Structure 1
């Protein structure tokens, strides 16, 4: 009887191992959004890690999260490290490449709750409505990652965070675009008023009898 139990467990373990091994060795999560904003606004909000706190979906999960900035202030070479609660974990982002108003590539290294290294890419495209922005993450699945994928849907889990972040960035960018238009309209009105005033003929004083 014991031999049968051991044999059954062995078959189960081998079967489970084969099932895990059959899972995809790579993954990709991607979400897109279109916003009524010139491309330089969302591009700048992503390219500068200091601005992530205004739109990142993870900052709100831990208001006490510790953040440090190293390397370049923004763009390639900029480094962002964070350490927070169980929901945000601990890790580091490094800006690898930034093609102005086209794409940004970031190395994303998770340290806790489990180590992982992925590449995140933001792409920007000018469209009639404003800007179409895509946020994607790619990585490799080791054995633990494959086992994890049996119980958790990476696309559904991470994709929801991407959707929240893109929605926040859309709101931020469209508000900034609106503020710019209002400032430009105000400056133009002032310039036109000053030009009109300067064009008025000088009034000559009427001599008193």
Structure 2
């Protein structure tokens, strides 16, 4: 009986420690990656500004070959929307281009419905650089307490950052052709 009590005491202390540590996590997260593409901003911009062109560079487009995609009548520019429904690798959600001043920025409202509900902002910035264009891809959003608990065990920057790095490398390869 004493071992049982010790086990539960250790268990509750561990759970308490995780909850206290989670409470110290930031209320907002941000993931950002950057690459220099040897092409002018006006050559890169259409690949980001048109959801149908994401098929050639986005790392998420190939994670579920059976993913269902729905596009609005306009696939590029402010107001364009794209929704997807896929397996556990991509989940479900939608995107809407909120702002897209050519050829410098595309800001997207990103809403996930599965596996977790989340409402984030994705932002692409294209800035002239010595060797071409510096392209930055970021995603930010609120972190509710449940998300903070997950962030104790999952490094969001590392997990999503890998995908952003792969996507930016794909975008670079396509734009430099």
| TM-score for the superposition, normalised by structure 1 | 0.78
Partner of 2:55: 53
Structure-2 change in CA distance of 1:111 and 1:37 (3 Å) = same
Deviations 1:112-148 (A, max 9, x none): 1111111010000122311111001111111111111
Out of 28, 38, 48, which is 1:26 matched to?
A: 28
TM-superposed CA distance for 1:26, in Å, is 1.3
Task: Output one character per residue of 1:52-109: Cα deviation in whole Å (capped at 9) or x when no partner.
Answer: 0011101111111110101533101000000111101111011000111111100111
Match for residue 136 of structure 1 among 116, 135, 138: 138
Aligned length: 175
Match 1:74 to one of 73, 76, 95: 76
Looking at structure 2, the residues matched to 111 and 91 of structure 1 have their Cα atoms a distance apart, in angstroms, of 5
What pairs up with 1:8-157 in 2 under 5 angstroms? 10-70=12-72, 72-157=74-159
The answer to whether the Cα contact below 8 Å between 2:18 and 2:149 also exists between their aligned partners in 1 is no
Q: 1:171 to 1:7 in 2, by over 3 A?
A: closer
Following superposition, the deviation at residue 171 of structure 1 comes to 0.6
* Aligned-partner SS, 1:165: helix
1:169/1:8 CA distance change after superposition, 3 Å: closer
Distance 2:65 2:93 in 1: 16
Higher relative contact order (CA 8 A, sep 6+): 2
Q: Higher Cα Rg: structure 1 or 2?
A: 1
Mark the runs of 5 or more structure 2 residues left unpaired by the alignment.
Answer: none
Question: Is the Cα–Cα contact under 8 Å of residues 66 and 82 in structure 1 kept in the other structure?
Answer: yes
Match of 2:162, SS state, is helix
RMSD: 1.7
Distance across 2 between alignment mates of 1:44 and 1:65: 23
1:174 has 2:169 as partner = no
CA distance 1:3–1:168, change in 2 (3 Å): closer
After TM superposition, give the deviation of residue 162 of structure 1 in Å.
0.3
Say which is worse superposed, 124-133 or 48-57, in terms of deviation: 124-133
More helix by share: 1
TM-score of the two chains, using structure 2 as the length reference: 0.91
